[in-house]
Amino acid sequence: MPTCRRASERDIPALVQLINRAYEIEAFFVTGDRTDAAEVNGLFAAGDFIVLEVEPGAPIAGCVYIAARPDARAYLGLLSVEPGAQKAGMGRRLVDAAEEHARGLGARFMELRVIDLREELPVWYGRLGYQVTGEEEIPDEKTERFTRPVKFLRMEKVL
């Protein structure tokens, strides 16, 4: 039975590989890898990764990043499921684990951002209770890899 656990820094190489494989779906508007070891290592300083393992000792099948924010908020990001294992409920299980973790951090709201070109994501997160709360431009220093104009859709859920 799949289980979730908090990741450690020893998981960084596996996290980088998983995230980059999961985000290959965005190749129609972005070039290059989604992340690298330096970025993932830096995220550990500000938050936590939860990983999903199909069985103990098996390769990581999914992950999600959670960071506490001010005003009883938490941020959910980098939700990633091994491409061959998608549509089997693992993403939902990871979001549930992230929300539980956020509540443990004292959060009453969870927020996230999705790229507007990924039209399926607001629908999927909407089924989990998230609502679009606005749009925001992506900072210029983060747009160099995009091959098309994009913007973020902000989504939020009361925990």
CATH of the domain at 34: 3.40.630.30
Domain count, the chain: 1
- Condensed to tens digits (0 to 9), the pLDDT of residues 8-56 reads 999 999 999 999 999 999 999 999 999 999 999 999 999 999 999 988 8
pTM above 0.85, yes or no: yes
Residue-level length of the chain: 159
Per the structure, the complete domain to which residue 54 belongs is given by 3-158
In this prediction, residue 85 carries a pLDDT of 85
